[in-house]
Amino acid sequence: MRSDPVSPEPAESLTDCVKIQRRTLLALVLAAPSLAWATHALAGEASTPAADDKFLALSRFATGRGSLDPTLGAAVLAALRDSDPALGSVLDELAATASSGSHADVEALEVAVRDTPGHAALLALVSAWYTGTVTVKDKPRVLFVTDALMYQPTADGSHIPGSCAGATNSWAERPLPPLDPMPPQ
């Protein structure tokens, strides 16, 4: 009886040394941006509910809107703080001034804070809500597009530029009946 020769052990390859499944690697690759965002968010200035409420009250006063999304407000506040670390305290002062009732509307507040740091903060706040962007380190940071206040006046008859209104050639369909001709006078 003849014995089989013993085959030599194959040399270890890189794949033998690293035991990771493709699904695990894919999950890590997909989760990396979220982990980076979470780390950045945790390292940033913490926001309190009271500060968020004051900021939303100032935002409602400055934009003239009765209600604003608190989630968007948190994003605006974080981006404004990233754009200028001193802006947080200036916004707090503006919120206190606006809530004091000494100014009837945002135009009166704007006149009162001209030539102060509060003026630039007020303009940055209104700009952020209306455009959905904030300039951080000389680069625009897009916070939201479809919820930007500048698109709301035409939301019932037009769609936001750059976004799809529907299927191909959907713009040619008439969603509303045509207007009746004006009656003769």
Condensed to tens digits (0 to 9), the pLDDT of residues 36-86 reads: 555 444 444 445 666 688 999 999 999 999 899 999 999 999 999 999 999
In a domain, 122, yes or no: yes
Over residues 12-31, the pLDDT tens digits come to: 555 555 566 777 766 766 77
36 falls within a domain: no
What is the tally of structural domains in the chain? 1
Burial of 163 (0-12, 13-18, 19+ CB in 10 A): exposed
- Residue 173 in this model has a pLDDT that exceeds 60: yes
Higher pLDDT, 44 or 144: 144
Token duo for residue 40: 């950045």
Interhelix angle for 117-131 vs 70-83, to 10°?
Answer: 130
Quick one: which of 146, 144, 124, 120 has its CA closest to 135?
A: 124
Q: Cα separation of 107 and 62, whole Å?
A: 9
Token pair belonging to 164 = 């799809």
87 found inside a domain = yes
| Cα–Cα nearest to 87, from 78, 96, 75 | 78
Give the domain extent around 116.
Answer: 48-151
In a domain, 24, yes or no: no
pLDDT of residue 169: 72
**Whether 122 contacts 113, CB under 8 Å:** yes
Residue 165 lies in a domain: no
CB 97 within 8 A of CB 109: yes
**Domain contains 92:** yes
pTM of the model: 0.64
Asked if the structure places residue 80 within a domain, the reply is: yes
- Per the domain annotation, does 93 fall within a domain? yes
